[in-house]
Chain A
Amino acid sequence: MFESLTDRFDTVFTRLRGRGRLTEADVDEALREIRLALLQADVNLKVVRDFVARVRDALVGIDLSTSLTPGQQVVKVVHDELRQILGGETLKVTYASRPPTVILLAGLQGAGKTTTAGKLAAWFKKREGRNPLLVGADLQRPAAVEQLKVLGAQAGVPVFSEQSDPVTVAKKGLAEAIRLGRDVLIVDTAGRLSIDAELMDEVRRVSETVEPHYTFLVIDAMTGQDAVATAEAFHRTLELDGVILTKIDGDARGGAALSVKEVVGRPIVFASTGEKQDEFELFHPDRMADRILGMGDVLTLIEKAEAHVDAAGAEEAMARMQEGRFSLEDFLDQMQQVKKMGSLSGLVGMMPGLPKELRNAEIDDNALGPIEAIIRSMTPQERRDPSIINGSRRLRIAKGSGTTTTDVNALLDRFKQMQVYMRQMAGMSGLGGRVARSAVRRNNKKAAKKSKKRGR
């Protein structure tokens, strides 16, 4: 989501770092760029202004002219301020001593409240081992309750609703949760505009009725300048505990996330990363700051790896990489592991030190299908030693995988090139960002040439 912001900051920082001395004009220029980058990312104008002012203030205290690495210092100040803005603890749900723990969702129309309610229910059930009850208090939008029922069924969570009014539904829902012994109650409400006094009053009454332990505002990541006004209004009415950011799998720059945190002082607690019910995660504000600053999100990556990847297998693969014996078979194995960890584009966003071209590459996970098909159409012997693949074998593989011989060649070429870098990379003790970077650049150039040859 924050990729383009990352790129912009990267450019500014690179320029600053390269300077031996910084004049005031240089700093002004850098600040102007940062301001533009933030505004283009939909960060609220007022937030941007404060941010730039704070960075400037912090810089005044540093005598840049005498510093040996002035650029580095500006970068550090911006880092610190950005962390400040986005910062905050990751939500740790405290469950009520007398269940149920009540969660109220509110927001504008179309932000994704109902979908989020379903995802939240699934999260509580699957990740936290709780027994949630969903309450459909959106009696406004046609079929909203139907939608919630379908989502509840998917999550294996019961749904309560009836045709009365939202306050009554919420009240009965709470009673129902107690009766059934459900320990988490998630109340979905109708979308409403922050200036609709009547509806805002209604949601306040719902809130007073169920006395939620957590009140979350659901906000669309694509929201523009208005995010602040909306968040402030809901915060005044409901006392928010946090924000759930939806649709972050698009290419919106997510400025709303920064603005809201800054203005209402409440962190983003969850982010919805896709259309599937389990594409929903706790949000780690500090990690996101690192991600914006182009530092990757290694922590999340490691967590995912720990949860999904077979560590012993990876060790072995690594050893083989070092010895240059990493075969297509190993590759296939590791590919399966990677697939388990989620979408490729999501993973790439968390990797540190990847070049822009790769980070922003549009990756359709279905494109992995042909790769797998090609490898699976090879004999074990071919997988271990691709050099034996001659013309007729190639044709057979292409036919078997429903691809063309050009595709087979492309895969083999890539794999061969990468084997060289794999050895280098595996041999390094650190995260060999630079090597990967140059490898990929070279690769991309070759690909570009190739595609030109194909007449694209």
Chain B
Amino acid sequence: MVFGLEGWIVFWVLFVVFVFLGFYGSRWRKGDLSQLHEWALAGRKLGVFLVWFLVGADLYTAYTFVAIPSLEYASGSLAFFAVPYVSITFAVAMLFMPILWEKSRQKGYITAADFVQDVFNSKILAVLIALTGIIAELPYIALQIDGMRAVLSVMLFGYSGVKAVSEWALIISFIILAAFVYTSGLRGATLGAVFKDVLIWISVIALIVVVPLKYGGFTTAFADAAKAHSFVSGLEALKPTFASAYVSLFIGSALALYLYPHAVNGSLSAESKSKLRMSTALLPIYGIGLAILAIMGILVYSDPAALNITKVLSGLASIPAIAVTAFPQWFAAIILLGIFVGGLVPAAIMAIAQANLLTRNIIKPLKRDLSPKAETEISKWASVAFKFIALAFVFLTPLTYAVQLQLLGGIIILTTLPAVFIGLLTNKLEKYSLIVGWFVSLVASIYLVLLANHFKTLSTSSYVLFGHPIFIGIIGLGINLAIVAIGTIIKFAIKK
């Protein structure tokens, strides 16, 4: 047992505070929550700080705490692609999202698919974009649940019946989460995000100060890690053979993040265009925590007690394990709750975004006479349903390299880039080639994922092209853009 009564009490007290904030959200900056934009976009009233927290909350997820450190722990320096990703993605966002924000404010869009339908005057394209968004979120939510599971597995380390207990704990947490998202919508999630981020910043600062000092600094850590095993992608720096994977992963991930429905949702909830731009611009600073956490995947090698836990469980447990071995129980509880809620809040935001797409872009076109109230009601229930679909998905599939789940989501969502991002700049693209490009690139990408993994468990997202491993999302995007370019050129050639 590494986590005793004192830790459990602090953990549960903090969890109760979190739940209280979630429900209290419905009263905070009160609005008519039967309106979809009030429920799903918090009335579009969030300022620089709150958008920073809300969008930052999408970033500081199980991806940061569990997936990236575990990749660093297992494969080494390749995991650090997440650092340039974080910088570049906000450059992409500050260019594109204010444009979408403005168009949405003028025309009342709530999703990217709303926009696509309007600009290309194609319902089919809008439905396809919406479906792609819904599906791409699922592995990302699954990743959040994997992170929460990693926390529970460390808390329960040494107790018996771990699997059943942690599954029940997850189910109960999800019921509570579903209840407060239903009542408070994005307001509840935003308050939860602020609370979570306070815990997380305390944790990150504590980890970077305490861990290197306690275990003899980075020199010792690199030496201990090198002794443990050889790192496929390199330890102190990147092996040259992984350069193409590194660059394509960070560019692909950077382009993908703001195509995700939840990132669109977060951006549209901003109060003004300039506030959105400023808070997005400042987000790379938030990413410094991500870099620190990634390095923990190496520091864990000089903490024998934590290493012992990760060897039994998996690399996913690196940071939770360091938390319980390097800190007193009550403080470990703060870190663990931060990571746990760090999976819950993004999962909630993602499910809200999925629900919006379902009602706005799939159900509403089929059932025109839907009242705004019914629309919101369907969204609320859909957000509940999506959370449990993701939970079932996690229980039914084997634990894999968690980061691959996020990359799979990225590969899927990148197929929507031409319609959404290029659509924001010009409406001259040929719409049927957008549909063909979407279809061909999606099929090709999924086929390449299967091929790269030899039709077995998901363990890589790169495909070797001309001797260089390349992120499949970038290959798919290349195919897609080529088709759209050809279609658009033909359209203009015929017109002349």
Are the chains A and B members of one assembly? Answer: no
